[in-house]
Structure 1
């Protein structure tokens, strides 16, 4: 009979491309992964890995086995979720990815409430952009991700994920000192299309949204500086180096030199959680979602 943990090791090598990367994800040594794969080769009587330069590649037999491993691991997760649902207990380890302002604005009270209501549930949080966290949920490396998308740019979802709405959030524009529109009550983002901007990295949801929105205003985006943390962005705005989009959720202290002005039409983003369909019956999923909704 095939050993589940050996199948998991092979599946991780196929997913992440190397033995060392699989070891990092599984939190074991590369030697441990290699030993699991060697035992799996003996069990199956098939060669599963071949040298490919400095790395390895999967043989045809391994590719066939990985296809079955996808289904087997999904069934195991569904069985575990059904057992937890039958027991009705919110227990165990729960891993979550969340973008920075949601960690600051949503998670502290939610995690506090979960600790009080469900002391046997251990929640671990990683700060991740939705572009990073959603694939990790789809692959089973995270149990849940808190993600966002903007009113004019929905976020594409990998197959096999379910989602639950948490809240809507409004964003304003942060203007540098002396900006000619700083005295306005509202600003149309089209009026700022040609300005220099400060945003997060180009592989993030927020930066991708800003680039698409500015191009929709028939202006080629000028993003002069990139910083992931909002306080850093605001420091650059305060220095007169550009404007930035400033969400209200988890808003940090704004430097006195920076002028914050609402946008018209209003700029809103939808904040929601995603998890795998196989895990939907886990009581922990429902408990965490309820805590996030407050």
Structure 2
């Protein structure tokens, strides 16, 4: 019989690449991870890992087992969800991860509704960049997370995660009030302006670089900021221009003009595959969708 916890370690090894990274993700020692993987090999009756010095790669049998592990882990999530539904009531801890602009706008009404309708829930919110949410879900540090991407830089689906669309927003070019309207392509009009860019490696930075490249230039960074309130304050202070999604521009400061672009940012609710039927996850999804539906109503 194969141990599900060891299957999860093998699956994470295929994703993370090293035993040290798996150990860090699970708060184990590398030695403990190696011992668990060796035990899984004995259970499987086939070598699952090839060791060359300090490097470890999966054998053909290991790759097959990883593929089946995704099915097993999803089945375990569905089982937990079914048991929670049979227990009745929506109770217990619910760990939610969301990016800053969603924490300020979408989360408050959703949390109020969840607290009112399901007082037995223990709500815990963590502010995270979307790039960190998938790992937090896979490692059971979150139960529900908000992910986003841009239509110009779509993100490939994660085979271990599932979810539903939540929100699609206009992306604006934020410029200081008084900036001449160049007409035509708004991005080309500010090609020589300084920019307030997000940190390299974030989705916002990647989307900005892609759009500027498509417009024929590379943005010249004057400042780097990941909080959109800071970004808009710097734009208002005539420190540069930036791209800002609608969720972060609900109440822009004086001195900022927002120019709509055809680009869209898309947000989705994510959870581990198989967990959609868990009462707490379903309740959270419903509350977030209700909050999103009323967000831009005037």
Give the TM-score category using the shorter length: 0.7 to 0.9
Greater CA deviation, 104-113 or 138-147?
138-147
Structure 2 residue 197 is the aligned partner of structure 1 residue 199:
yes
Query: Structure 1 residues 138 and 38 mapped into 2: Cα distance closer, same or farther (>3 Å)?
Result: closer
* Conserved? CA contact 1:172–1:261, under 8 Å: no
Equivalent residues of 2:171, 2:260 under 8 A apart = no
Higher mean alpha-carbon deviation, 94-103 vs 55-64, is at 55-64
Change (3 A) 1:265 1:121: same
- Structure 2 equivalent of residue 287 of structure 1: 283
**How many angstroms does 1:110 deviate by?**
2.2
1:9-58: per-residue Cα shift (whole Å, max 9, x none)? 22222222222222232243434323322333443444444433334333
Selected match of 1:275 from 259, 271, 287: 271
Question: 1:234-273 residue pairs with structure 2 within 5 A?
Answer: 234=232, 236-237=234-235, 240-250=238-248, 259-264=255-260, 269-273=265-269
Quote the residue 1:153 is aligned against: 152
RMSD: 3.6
Q: Tell me, yes or no, if structure 1 residue 228 matches structure 2 residue 226.
A: yes
CA shift, 1:238, in A, is 5.4
Instruction: Say whether the 8 Å CA contact 2:90–2:120 is kept in structure 1.
Output: yes
Deviations 1:124-181 (A, max 9, x none): 444333344357657877543313345x53734406555434345455444358x643
Q: Secondary structure at the match of 2:51?
A: strand
Q: Name the counterpart of 1:33.
A: 33
Q: Summarize deviations over 1:204-250 as a string: whole Å, max 9, x none.
A: 33223223333343334334433222244345445643112334535
CA 158–171 in structure 1, closer or farther in 2 if over 3 Å, else same: closer
Name the CA distance, whole Å, in 2 between partners of 1:118 and 1:212: 43
Is contact 2:229–2:248 with CA below 8 Å preserved after alignment?
no
Where does the alignment leave 5 or more consecutive residues of structure 1 unmatched? none
SS of corresponding position for 1:263: strand
Provide the C-alpha distance between the structure 1 equivalents of 2:175 and 2:6, rounded to a whole number of angstroms: 55
Aligned ranges 1:95-244 → 2 under 5 Å: 95-134=95-134, 137=137, 142-150=142-150, 153=152, 155-158=154-157, 162-176=162-176, 180-181=179-180, 188-234=186-232, 236-237=234-235, 240-244=238-242
CA contact (8 A) 2:236 2:256 kept: no
Q: TM-score, normalised by structure 1?
A: 0.76
SS at match of 1:148: strand
Cα distance between partner residues in 2 of 1:93 and 1:29: 27
Displacement of 1:255 in angstroms is 6.6
For the Cα contact (< 8 Å) 2:136–2:142, is it kept in 1? yes
Uncovered stretches (5+) of structure 2, i.e. residues with no partner? 292-298
Structure 1 pair 165–63 and aligned structure 2 pair: CA distance change class (3 A)? closer
Distance 1:57 1:164, change over 3 A: closer
